[in-house]
Amino acid sequence: MTKLTKAVIPAAGWGTRLLPATKAIPKEMVPVLDRPAMQWAVEEAAAAGLSDICVVTSRAKSAIEDHFDTAPELEAALERRSKTEALEAVRRTATLAKLHYTRQASALGLGHAVAQAAEHIAGEAFAVLLPDVVMEPSSPLLRELVSAHGRTGASVLALIEVEPEEVSSYGCAAVEPVPGDDSLVRITGIVEKPSPAEAPSRLTVAGRYVLTPAIMEALRRTEPGAGGEIQLTDAIEAVVDSDEPVYGHIFDSGLYDTGTALGLIEANVAFALADPQLGPAVRKMLKEQSARE
């Protein structure tokens, strides 16, 4: 089996849940602490050995490409002013990974966005990271998915248990135990945004996937599903139905959905509290604020 090196980061969606903030800037560029959500995803992929990244963008997303490019005028200005730390931070963004860009011409859904990367993926297994799901940098999750794929050769999805009323916002999986492997479950069915009555479990797809090439083949045949969009979940269901094993890796922490206002605030508070420089001041600020309420 060849070593996994490729990742796809879909970044073509509108970000309607954060309007008006995302009217003129891509939702992936909304900051969590000192860097955009997108940079957290690129760093997470690179840390798991996936440094060949295909970003699927759309119109009005050029800020993403600029962010990961060099910025000669800015760098020269920072150098002249001896702003060493800022200069390092700016330079670093251009060296994190090898980024390739492809565009999704119309917003036909997450599955359609991932399918735009097929040429770049070229028949290999690959990871998918949804960038509005930001993981704590210390989370081993993506490395664990990569290693589970290494052991099984199969697709492996990160699953997290949510409250019953939240299930219909996500992809939701039916699972069964894997004899002899406590760290994985076998996915026996998966459905996108089920009604509470249809939901097969409370285990939802958490925005991190390792997928085999079979998914690209399945995506070619996938018809529009939930919300009238071509869903990645439906293509995964087709792979499950084909009897190729698809596994789930259940985890329970370290994830922030920054696509919602509350998730974005939560991520910023958590990352700020964990920051050695900012942490103590932010902790004090939060205490004072809640005392004032």
Cβ proximity to ligand G1P, 42 vs 78, nearer residue: 42
With contacts defined by CB under 6 A, name the span among 42-50, 113-121, 202-210, 277-285 that binds ligand G1P: 202-210
Give the distance from CA 3 to its chain's centroid: 20
CA distance 234 to 75: 45
Helix axis angle for 214-221 and 232-241, nearest 10°, is 110
Q: Is 22 in the site for ligand G1P (CB under 6 A)?
A: no
Quick check: 155 binds ligand G1P (CB under 6 A)?
no
Q: Which is nearer to ligand G1P, 121 or 128 (CB)?
A: 128
> How many degrees, rounded to 5, is the angle at CA 46 between CA 152 and CA 186?
25
Q: Are 54 and 120 in contact (CB under 8 A)?
A: yes
Pick from 18, 42, 55, 110 the residue near ligand G1P by CB under 6 A.
110
The pairing of strands 155-161 and 126-129 is unpaired
By CB under 6 A, name the one of 26, 131, 194, 207 that touches ligand G1P.
Answer: 207
The token duo for 35 is 């860097």
Based on the shown chain and the rule CB under 6 A, indicate whether residue 194 belongs to the binding site for ligand G1P. Answer: no
> For 29, phi and psi rounded to 5 degrees?
-95, 5
User: How far is 202 from 281, CA to CA, in rounded Å?
Assistant: 37
Binding segment for ligand G1P (CB under 6 A), chosen from 29-37, 115-123, 199-207, 269-277, is 199-207
Amino acid type, 118: A
Q: Are 139 and 193 in contact (CB under 8 A)?
A: no
Query: Under rule CB under 6 A, which residues in 248-267 are in contact with ligand G1P?
Result: 257
Nearer to ligand G1P by Cβ, of 205 and 267: the residue is 205
Out of 7, 42, 48, 130, the only residue in the binding site for ligand G1P (CB under 6 A) is 130
Applying CB under 6 A, does 233 fall inside the site for ligand G1P? yes
The single-letter DSSP state of residue 83 is: -
Pair 207, 199: CB distance under 8 Å: no
Q: Which is nearer to ligand G1P, 4 or 172 (CB)?
A: 172
* Total residues in contact with ligand G1P, by rule CB under 6 A: 13
**Nearest distance, CB of residue 229 and ligand G1P, angstroms:** 8
222 in contact with ligand G1P (CB under 6 A): no
Binding interface with ligand G1P (CB under 6 A): 110, 130, 133, 170-171, 192, 204-205, 207, 231-233, 257
